[in-house]
Structure 1
């Protein structure tokens, strides 16, 4: 676990498999320019009918990885066909089955066309090639250290305690010593809360992460399993490692923490996540002049209580000073929400472009202070490249990031106003606190934290320039 300032707020979602899916080859269909008689209705222009191995090899040899075609199989007799696919600079052949009801399939998954099947298969093949160690670990995950337990341990503990109280009301669970249990359906109640998850293989829309191992559910169809009773999501292999602690109403309490931002805002039909707006509203109402705002951590139990309140009650959750006197637990809850977003506000695709832009900016700034050129205006000329990179963010990410950075800018302005000595948080301090919250790095890469801090400091100081009004 990576702790922040001694507070048990840590990153639980791992991005490695998500990033690898983005890197995987894409399907490149080899189109047949001839009319194929008696072509099966489930195939498109990527079907070539009868081809010899030499002809098929000639068509695929000079093509990029991901190129594929479908052809008749000599031994198939119409029961199956052959999918020829180029991957890792080699040509692979697979038996391709189909039926009128379920479509095309190679193993258990079903697809409506060969291109969808290949797209899904390429991702799995690429992950098996690049991340075999991660995939092997899916079967050895420590359940007690899983994000599922991290995010829900308070509720599971409370439910277990409630169940224990109920059992005490009815006395011993030993059916021989309890006449009540001997003659009622309650003799099936276990000694502790135990309910098996009802997992079902599911096709997920949008981005989803396994709640046991915290790795991305890769692919486009039937990516994993979902419990029909509580909504917990897991890889097919990881689902076998869950304890019997299913809580039927958990899907209503999972709320907004750990949910991908675009999916969340689409479901709520909102422009900004209410967790962010409520917390920032509370901070600006009573925390702008608090010393060490965002740098000091609140009590973990209170932060967890705020998370549960926001998950359960949504926008109606009470974050008032009467309920939570310490503003630091409000800021802690906000940082927790942003930290465990499956895809960070500054996405993996846009982050490198921003880093390239600020490195050019840093070189110009160094030259300015060294006296190489006299005009500071040249520094400002680099801001449009940062602004342009930010515009590549998905709209929910852009809007939320802009809202947060504008808030941090207002904290900065409050510092330089009449109350300048009070909160002691300048742009550098704020950037240092928020860099690990807004920007995530893969586990096998040593992060350039200094560049991340410079980027955020620049955005805070120039919020009106780098964001579109």
Structure 2
């Protein structure tokens, strides 16, 4: 039953190294079945129905019984009509002949026609898609159940290209675990451990990222880039990753590894973009916004009074955001354009605040809040360090780099009047946001947020 053949009909976007490119073998069995599926045959009502809804055509037959609808369909495969329910007046039913029987579906309209998840511009398209799905699922139920067991995904040029890119990516090593030596029930840090934690070299690492799949309607025949089988139907045949463009069946999307490599052409903006998506798209360990803003601030703003506390003009900060979204790493944020360093500091805070997933992620937020409540200072640092180990690589690297910068800011406290506690007040709510927005809980957590950032700055050399 599992027929396979080469096919040039695929609209797939699989890429590969030209030197070792091998055309994938697209499995055409399901495509052949779609071609064989019954075609819709509209059974029209001979007279005009006064109570016909405006969004139905002559296929509407008014309030008739199931038996009469079955008689009108005449046993022709693919024949269909719409009737008003006698049991529930005002509701409508699609009567459809398939498999030598009449199937009845509750029909809905909300601007588009639907009986399930898919929504269609016309009843004819809905019936066409339904007949294709019924035919394929009837004829190939066993095949569909097994079609994900022999994927070609690992052999496609797409994954080979990813592995090659990831080999050259620089990331962080697994953070060095800080060990705390116990002496008479008191936890202390060893000077040797402190020294070793001070210099933790960057090493190669994989920034794993799950695909951002969204239901997609493919124009023309399309094959799944995981199992190589045809994606059947008229609309919403599968899902596409909006970050890298991978096209797969909905059921196959659950089996695809977390190896998304975002394509810069698909990243529409820099601000409000998921942090891991952005660094993978730019092939960097941290967002270039963070690197560029910090570099500019350290060049000319470390002694600026009230740095990060004093706000720049909001319209100028918005200009910086638009410059990054438009020009990326070519954005000009120099003193020639923005003389007030508070504008650059404000833009950095805005970037961090607008991340869809905060730097200290929702998943580990409660772990850090609980760590802040530990009374023993050394045990508290150990708990914070354990929390850092749970951060995704891009988030860890961003936080590490930012804390190293803020430590530099505190070294100029006499000039800028910004110590670790002040910076904790500023950056606590920016870097840490509770998973559920509850005003009271957020208010109660603010002092813990401040303390966490304060400790990350003060103990940056040990914790990272």
* Shorter-chain TM band: 0.3 to 0.5
Instruction: From the CA coordinates, give the structure whose radius of gyration is larger.
Output: 2
TM-score norm. by structure 2 comes to 0.46
TM-score norm. by structure 1 comes to 0.46
